[in-house]
Structure 1
C-alpha cells in the first residue's frame, strides 16, 4: 500500500512562466540590435537569440563569485560568441554590451492567481521560495512585481553558480527554506528543470500547465511524486 506524501512545509516556485510573464513593451530583438549597429551581415550566423544564454544545467561557479564578476562574464560570453560569428573585434564589445542590455529590458507582470495563493500559503505557515534560472538581480525583479512581502527566499542561478537542473541549485533552495526534500513541493512550468530536476533530488514536483502558457506541446506522462495543475489555485489540494 502506497504511503501518503508528508505535508509540504515549503513550496518552491519557478519564477518566469510560473509566477510572471513578459508584457509589452517587449525587449528589443537581437536582430534589431545588429541592424542598428550596422552588423546586418552577421545576423544569420548569430541565430536564435534565446539560445545565447548559459545552458540548462551549466556550472559557472567560477564566474559567480561576485556581482561584478558575473555581470562581466555575461557580457564577455556575448562578445566571444559575436567573434565566433565573424563580428569584427572592434565591434564585438559594443555589440555585446547592447545585447546584454536588450536581454534585461524585461517588463514583467504577475499571473492573476499569484498573490492570493502565495499569501494563503504563508498564512497557513508554509515557507514560500523561488528557484530560478535568472540574472543576478532576482531580488529586484521580485520587488518590481510586488512580491517581496510574499516570498521568504529567492535563489537565482546567477548567484548559486549553476542552472537548473543541476542538483546544487535545488539543494540551495532547500537550504534557504530549512527543509528536507520530502517536506518540499516544487512548482514550475518547464518539464526538465521544474519537474524532472526536483524529482531527482527527492522533491515532489508540480507541473503547471496554464491555458495561456508560453511553452506549448504535449505534456509528458506524470511519473510518481509528480502532479499537474492548470492554475496555482489548485495547489491547496496537493499540500
Structure 2
C-alpha cells in the first residue's frame, strides 16, 4: 500500500537501473587497443588507484583539492566538462601510459560497459502494465538512450531527462521539475528512485524519494520496493 498515489517513477541511471562493469574488465578493455597488458598485481593496484582518483560511473573520487573540486561538481553540465574533469582526475592515478586516461574515459561509453540489474526489466515492465509513467533522470554528460536500446529497456521508458540537456544537476529542483513536466505529472504524485543523497533532493519539490545503495553488476537490486510503494 502506497503512502500517497504514485502516477510516475523517476529512476536514476548508474547504480539504480544499471551498474558499470567490474573495474578490472574496464581496465583491460581500455588497455587492449593500446597494446598494454598488466599482470594481476599491476591491474589490481591500478584499479585501486583509479577508484580513488575517480572512475566515470563509479564511486565519488577521494581527496579532491584545488580546481578538481569545481570541475567535479559541474562535470555533468556538458560533454566537454565531463571529459576534462574525469581525464584530469584519472591522471592522478599514476598511470603507466599517458594515453590510458583518455582510453579509460572512452571505454565507459559502449552500451556493453553497463550491466542492468536483474530486477530492472521486470519492475519497469510491471510499472508500464499498471499505467505508471517512467523517466530516467541522470546527472550525465552523454546520451544514454543507445545503452537503454542495447539492453532492451527503452520500451518501458517514457522520458529521458539528462543534466547536460536541461542545464541542471541533481539535487537541483530544476531537473526533477523538468522530468515531471516531461511526464505530465505533479511532483507530489511521483517517486524518485536513486542511490545517492543527490537523488533525495527530489523532496525539495515535494516528491518522495527512495534511496537504494548501489549493488554489484547484474545483482537483484531491491527494486521490488518500488512496486510495493506504488501498490503493485
State if a TM-score over 0.5 links the two structures.
yes
Counterpart of 1:207 in structure 2 is 211
SS at match of 2:193: strand
Q: 1:60 deviation in Å?
A: 6.4
Counterpart of 2:134 in structure 1 is 128
Unaligned runs of 5+ in 2: 37-45, 56-60, 62-67
Counterpart of 1:98 in structure 2 is 103
Counterpart of 2:9 in structure 1 is 11
Inter-partner Cα distance in structure 1 for 2:3 and 2:119? 25
Is 2:192–2:199's contact at 8 Å kept on the other side of the alignment? yes
After superposition, residues 78-227 of structure 1 pair within 5 angstroms as 97-104=102-109, 107-190=113-196, 192-195=197-200, 197-209=201-213, 213=215
CA distance 1:188–1:85, shift in 2 (3 Å): closer
Inter-partner Cα distance in structure 2 for 1:100 and 1:75? 7
CA distance 1:5–1:234, shift in 2 (3 Å): closer
CA distance 1:27–1:235, shift in 2 (3 Å): same
Is 2:10–2:135's contact at 8 Å kept on the other side of the alignment? yes
| Counterpart pick for 2:222 among 228, 231, 234 | 231
* Number of residue-to-residue matches in the alignment: 201
| Bigger Cα Rg | 1
Counterpart of 1:27 in structure 2 is 26
SS at match of 1:163: coil
Name the TM-score, length of structure 1 as normaliser: 0.66
CA distance 1:60–1:188, shift in 2 (3 Å): closer
SS at match of 1:28: helix
Name the TM-score, length of structure 2 as normaliser: 0.68
Is 1:136–1:159's contact at 8 Å kept on the other side of the alignment? no
Higher relative contact order (CA 8 A, sep 6+): 2
CA distance 1:95–1:138, shift in 2 (3 Å): same
